[in-house]
């Protein structure tokens, strides 16, 4: 029998640990994780046509898991470790127990947090994961899933980690003084750029999907949108790295800007289309969330309203399949440049920044810093997203796009699964829902009897034969 071992208090309650900060940071990270799984998973599944629900949801689900593995093996230290170049840290594993238990420290930024390194690793992981999932929104309904499996670790390594280190991890834009409170540039501007550029290399959807892209489940979209909205409290509220007064201001401003932006979008729809749109309200909600992200804790309430007004009007004029470009690219520019205009010196101080606010407080230079930083993020992502796509296509010889035949079928062609599985009906009339590759409509097809224990049906139907 093993002897009882008593560890010293320094193991379980070290002097540097603030339990409230640690509890809030883990809670905030979990809220951000819920934005991805299930938030964006179900939002995407409801937003696309029925035949793409499974593939779209699974692209998001896969990215969440794949990013975590890469994050732990090399990408966290590349993003937040010791500086290797002005825009990137030294890659390396973050899996040792001693490393996970010690006090969190960002060496290039020379900043400590009052919780363990493991908490910081997880908090930053969920930001990295949601960025890849946002990129996926531009590639849905035609990207080859095998190409997506390769794209995720490559883009994380050569794009996301660069932006994260440059702006948050202590890199050259951090030293320049850019304000990106919670990822307006690191997450939204980069994903909006990568989505737009990558969609060009993949190619368009097939004609019938362009002509009719009616969402299959708007109620499911609302569920995903609601999770996204409430989860954003952790997204922006967690970035002071403490349960501080500024965390409360960030959460309040986040909700204020989002509500205002969503309502402005609805009124824009009313003025132009003469009807309020549920999908429009969701789009306005997302642009508001994106716009407030770089500014959340450094602007006052009136600044949040001003950003909500801009994010409800400006992106409304841009058309996009799943709104990745206009909600994330355009919204991020509105928020990032707006931060340079409306950041307050008191908000910056509460966030721990030395910046004397933005133009509203007499620091017009901040606007130019925000613009220069945005141009770097855009340029880097144009180049590296293109290089990654070309590498996958021409070096690895993996097609970026599904065949037209697979695009006509959808989920069943890719996964042999469908979102709503009425097994007997699907087998009897396969051309109605998805279809079976290689079977022409009207061709004879033997229908196998369904076992009474089948997971797809609660009844035992007799064997039937479809007539030609």
Tens-place pLDDT, residues 162-173:
999 999 999 999
Mean pLDDT on 447-467? 38
Q: Tell which wins on pLDDT, 211 or 58.
A: 58
What average pLDDT does the chain have? Answer: 86
What's the pLDDT at 325? 75
Rounded distance, CA 262 to CA 290, Å? Answer: 12
Instruction: Write out pLDDT tens, residues 202-250.
Output: 998 888 888 888 888 999 999 999 999 999 999 999 999 999 999 999 9
Which distant-in-sequence residues (6+ apart) come within 8 Å of 359 by Cβ?
A: 340, 341, 342, 366, 367
What's the pLDDT at 414? 87
Mean pLDDT on 448-467? 38
What's the pLDDT at 417? 82
Does domain 19-395 fall under CATH 3.40.309.10? My reply is no
Asked whether the beta carbons of 211 and 12 are under 8 A apart, the reply is no
Could you tell me the residue ranges of all domains in the chain?
19-395, 421-468
Secondary structure letter of residue 450 according to DSSP: P
What's the pLDDT at 211? 83
Is the four-CA dihedral 22, 27, 30, 32 of positive or negative sign? negative
Question: Could you tell me what percent of the chain has a pLDDT over 70?
Answer: 86
Asked whether the beta carbons of 63 and 282 are under 8 A apart, the reply is no
What's the pLDDT at 439? 45
Least confident of 108-112, 395-399, 431-435: 431-435
The residues that bridge with 106 in the sheet, in sequence order, are 111
């Amino acid at each position: 029998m093993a002897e009882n071992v008593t560890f010293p208090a320094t193991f379980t309650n070290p002097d540097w640990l603030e339990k409230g900060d640690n509890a809030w940071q883990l809670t905030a990270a979990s809220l951000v994780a819920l934005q991805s799984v299930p938030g964006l998973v179900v939002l995407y599944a409801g937003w696309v046509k029925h035949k793409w629900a499974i593939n779209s949801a699974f692209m998001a689900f896969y990215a969440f898991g794949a990013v975590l593995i890469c994050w732990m093996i090399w990408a966290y230290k590349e993003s937040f470790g010791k500086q290797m170049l002005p825009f990137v840290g030294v890659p390396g594993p973050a899996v040792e127990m001693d490393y996970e238990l010690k006090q969190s420290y960002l060496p290039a930024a020379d900043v400590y947090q009052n919780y363990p390194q493991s908490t910081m690793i997880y908090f930053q992981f969920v930001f990295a994961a949601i960025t890849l999932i946002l990129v996926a929104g531009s590639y849905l309904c035609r990207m080859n899933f095998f190409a997506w499996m390769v794209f995720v670790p490559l883009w994380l390594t050569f794009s996301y980690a660069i932006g994260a280190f440059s702006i948050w991890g202590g890199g050259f834009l951090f030293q320049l003084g850019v304000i990106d409170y919670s990822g307006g540039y690191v997450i939204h501007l980069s994903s909006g750029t990568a989505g737009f550029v990558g969609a060009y290399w993949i190619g368009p959807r097939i004609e019938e999907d362009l002509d009719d892209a009616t969402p299959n489940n708007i109620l499911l979209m609302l569920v995903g949108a609601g999770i996204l909205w409430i989860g954003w409290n952790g997204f922006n509220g967690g970035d002071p790295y403490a349960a501080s007064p500024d965390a409360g201001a960030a959460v309040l401003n986040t909700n204020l800007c989002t509500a205002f932006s969503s309502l402005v979008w609805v009124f824009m729809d009313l003025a132009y289309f003469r009807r309020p749109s549920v999908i429009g309200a969701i789009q306005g909600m997302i642009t508001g969330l994106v716009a407030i992200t770089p500014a959340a804790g450094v602007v006052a309430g009136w600044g949040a309203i001003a950003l909500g007004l801009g994010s409800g009007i400006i992106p409304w004029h841009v058309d996009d399949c799943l709104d990745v470009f206009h909600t994330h690219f355009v919204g991020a520019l509105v928020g990032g440049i707006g931060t340079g205009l409306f950041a307050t010196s008191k908000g910056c101080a509460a966030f721990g920044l030395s910046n004397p606010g933005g133009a509203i407080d007499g620091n017009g230079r901040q606007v130019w810093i925000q613009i220069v930083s945005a141009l770097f993020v855009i340029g880097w992502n144009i180049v590296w997203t293109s290089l990654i796509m070309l590498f996958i296509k021409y070096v690895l010889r993996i097609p970026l796009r599904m065949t037209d035949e697979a695009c006509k079928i959808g989920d069943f062609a890719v996964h042999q699964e469908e979102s709503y599985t009425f097994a007997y009906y699907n087998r009897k009339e396969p051309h109605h829902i998805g279809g079976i590759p290689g079977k022409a409509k009207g061709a004879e097809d033997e229908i196998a009897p369904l076992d009474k224990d089948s997971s797809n049906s609660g009844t035992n139907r007799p064997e039937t034969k479809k007539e030609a």
